Amino acid sequence: MNTTPKILQFDIMGDERGWLCVANGAKQIPFDIKRVYWIYGTEPGVARGKHAHHKLSQVLVCVSGSVDIYCEWGDKSETFTLSNANTGLLLNGLCWHEMRNFSPDAVLLVMASDYYDESDYVRDYNEFKRLNNDKGC
């Protein structure tokens, strides 16, 4: 599994009434979507995430406001700022991610490849590093 995060750009359709973006499964989203959840009302200064997944793939879209997504994978790390409703971030499997700097109006929509399963989470950072190293990274 390629654990390098990837920015996805969604086409914007709009007219005088405003904007509309669409994420078609299998076309714009590289997995079958089994679950959608959204995060909002997180105070600026509060961080969320701080985990990786064993197998789960997800696309994160900040449909309102902005949020920074700090990612670590292999021997790399990068912070992606999501501040446009037409931009998604694809995360696959063993990629440590932390969501930081939520704006007060931030709504983070997440499309996921599978149902919620706590056993798929790697919440311990040292365990993540061990698994990451075992992959030969």
Residues 6+ apart with CB under 8 A from 36: 109, 110, 111, 112
97 a catalytic residue: no
- CA distance linking residue 86 with residue 18, whole number of Å: 13
- Encoding tokens for residue 38? 């959204």
> Can you tell me which of 8, 23, 39, 63 binds ligand T46, judged by CB under 6 A?
39
Q: How many CB atoms lie within 10 A of CB 131?
A: 16
Q: Checking DSSP bridges between strand 96-100 and strand 6-9, what pairing results, if any?
A: unpaired
Closest CB to ligand T46 among residues 2, 19: 2
Q: Partners of 108 in the beta sheet?
A: 39, 62
Closest CB to ligand T46 among residues 19, 121: 121
Region 92-131 residues binding ligand T46, contact defined as CB under 6 A: 110, 116
Supply angle C-alpha 62, 68, 74, rounded to 5: 110
Q: Does 3 bind ligand T46 (CB under 6 A)?
A: no
> Can you tell me which of 49, 57, 61, 96 binds ligand T46, judged by CB under 6 A?
49
| x-or-dash string of contact with ligand T46, 52-91, rule CB under 6 A | ------x-x-------------------------------
5-13, 34-42, 72-80, 129-137 -> range binding ligand T46 (CB under 6 A): 34-42
Residues of the shown chain interacting with ligand T46 in the complex, contacts defined by CB under 6 A: 35, 37, 39, 48-49, 58, 60, 110, 116
